[in-house]
Structures are given as C-alpha cells and as structure tokens.
Structure 1
Amino acid sequence: MFKEVFPMRFGIIAVLLSALWSTPILAVIETYEFSSPELEERYRVLSQELRCPKCQNQNIADSNAPISQDLRALVYAQLEEGATDDAILDDMVARYGEFVRYRPDTRGAAMWLWLAPALMLAAGVVLLFLLLRRGRGGAQPSKETLTKEERERLEQMISDKGNTP
C-alpha cells in the first residue's frame, strides 16, 4: 500500500515545489542605473504612487503589463532629466486622468471624493435627529394647539369617563 501512495505524494510535492520555485519568475525585475541614490528613492516612491492603467488594482512597480513597463521607463527618464515629483505626477494625470494616482489630489473635483463620506455621515445624523425629534413630539397633542372651548370639552369628557363605573 505504501508503494502505491508514495508516488502520488511525491507527485504532489513536486508540483508544489515547482510552483514555489516559479513564482520569482513573475516578479518585476528592472535595472535602472540612477545618477544618485535620491533619484532611486524618488523613483521607488513614484512607482508605488502611480496605478497601472491596465491592471487598475496594482501600482506600476508591481505590474508586469507592458503599459507599466513603459510608465516605469518614462518616470526614470523624467527623473534623470531633472523633473520634479509634482511635474511627473501632473504629466501622468494629464495623460491618464486622476485615476492613475492611488491618492488623488485634494483640489478641484477630487475634493468632493474626499469630502463625500463625511458629508453623507453628517446628513445622516441630521436626518436621524429630525426624524426622532418629529416622532417624539408629534405623538401627543399639546395644550397650546387646543382652543379654550376644546380644552373645556376635553376636560369634561375626561371627568365624565372617570365618574362612570
């Protein structure tokens, strides 16, 4: 029995090991020669900040898509030419829209995206407060809404009901 099970176990182990060994092949490997360590650090930060237009859930540093390779090369070239981080980000936004950034700018139309959750929460609290306030006060008639004749009639009805057995 052991001889029949061993080849199956060996096959499963071989498949798992080959899968583990092949995963580094999928990693993004690029070698750029930067003129300074500061540029290399800026490149790393920018490539983490920019979203792959094709993958949409990966940054360009982690994506193997051809567009990400092109964007990484473009970021490298712009950094070596002396462009600032803001200039590079503005260029990418001009080409691909605000979606290319993982953290959109807080100015302009994107400001509403940042403020929308807080505004909706505030509107919900105000609405809840108004509904609870209206529900609590509307259940009982107040004496101010009754005329003098209506109040006397109400008191008469209450006293008559109290006298009947």
Structure 2
Amino acid sequence: MKRFSMLLAGLMLALLTSTSAVAAIEVHSFDNVDQEEAFQELTATLRCPKCQNNTIADSDAPLARDMRQKVYDMLQQGKDKEDVVDYMVARYGNFVTYEPPVMLSTIILWLGPLFFIVGGFTVLVLRSRRNNEPQAAANDDLDEAEAKRLKAMLAEMEQDNVENKNDKVEK
C-alpha cells in the first residue's frame, strides 16, 4: 500500500510540474474568398523580420503573429494587397519582401563583393609585376667592369667544379 501511495504521489507531482505545449491556432473569418486568398498569399510572401528566413505564415514569433493580425485587419478594412505590402515596407523596411526593389543600396550590396574581388586581383597583378621589374632592370644595368668581374667569378666557379670532380674521380 505504501508503494502504491508513493507511486500515486510521484505521478501527481509529475503531472503538476509538467508543462504541455499549447499551440494557439489562429482562426480568421473572411467576408469572401478573395480576401482569404489575399491573406494566404500575403502571409506566404512577407518575411518575418525576427526569423529572417521564414514567412509570417510559417513563423511562430510574436512579431509574425502581430503582422498576420495587421494583414487581416487591413484586408477587413478593404485595403488591397499593394496597400498592405506598402504598409509593411514602410513599417519594417524592404527586408520584409523577398524581392526588394532595385535601389542604390541594393546595387551596392550585390556589386560590392565583385568590386573587392576585382580590386584584390588588380593589386596582386600590379605587385607581381612591380617585383619582377627591378630584378630585370638590375641585370641590364651592369657596366663593363662588373660584367668582366662576373665572368671571372663564373669561370673560377666552373674551374673549382672541374677540380672537385677530378678529385672525386681520383679517390
């Protein structure tokens, strides 16, 4: 009996302390089918600013819930899709649309990495050319005395190599 009461107490404690996931289901009633289709389309095409890559239809964030409610309210007021999108862009910025308009800021974002790649490649080419030019110029600028001295040193080195080979052959 004692075991049964302990088991019952443990079960009651587990039930009292456990939390169950309660998902809120949003139910909206529309005046006509066109409003419902517009709501479905808008919630599937507007991006949640908090979730970054989810639509407001897919997101469970409180901000997305508020945005869905605002879309519903605006459609109930008779606003069309463009009005709703314009409101959301004015409120949250161009980020809420998956296809932002072409503006100077978006062009910079798309072309910026390309400019860095081209600029880096240009710097590499210029530096490699600059490093090769002084060596070539130094070889061309030898005067006659230096040329004779260089030939003498090369001949001496060649002679030492021949003597070393002969020593190795004799051993």
**Displacement after TM superposition at 1:61 (Å):** 0.8
Q: Which segments of 5 or more consecutive residues in structure 1 lack a partner in the other structure?
A: 1-21
Alpha-carbon distance between aligned partners in 2 of 1:125 and 1:34, rounded to the nearest angstrom: 61
Equivalent residue letter for 2:145: R
Match of 1:158 in 2: 150
Q: Tell me the distance in 2 between the aligned counterparts of 1:129 and 1:44.
A: 54
Runs (4+) of structure 1 exceeding 6 A deviation are none
Residues 51, 102 of structure 1: 8 Å contact kept: yes
**1:83 partnered with 2:75:** no
Q: Is the 8 A contact 1:28 1:61 kept in 2?
A: no
In structure 2, what is the Cα distance between the partners aligned to 1:144 and 1:162?
Answer: 15
d(CA) in 1 for partners of 2:107 and 2:38? 26
Q: CA deviation at 1:112?
A: 1.8
Q: Secondary structure at the match of 1:52?
A: coil
The alignment covers a number of residue pairs equal to: 142
Q: For residues 91 and 79 of structure 1, what CA distance do their matches in structure 2 show? A: 12
* Letter of the 1:140 counterpart: Q
Task: List gaps (5 residues or longer) in structure 2.
Answer: 1-19, 160-171
Calculate percent identity across the aligned residue pairs: 34
Aligned partners of 1:78 and 1:88 also within 8 Å: yes
* Distance in 2 of aligned mates of 1:115 and 1:88: 30
Q: 1:35 aligns with which of 32, 35, 43?
A: 32
CA positional deviation for 1:92 = 1.2
Bigger Rg, which one: 2
1:41: how far off? 4.5
CA contact (8 A) 1:92 1:100 kept: yes
Match of 1:11?
Answer: none
| 1:123 matched residue in structure 2 | 119
Give TM-score, length-normalised by structure 1: 0.60
Cα distance in 1, alignment partners of residues 40 and 121 from structure 2: 42
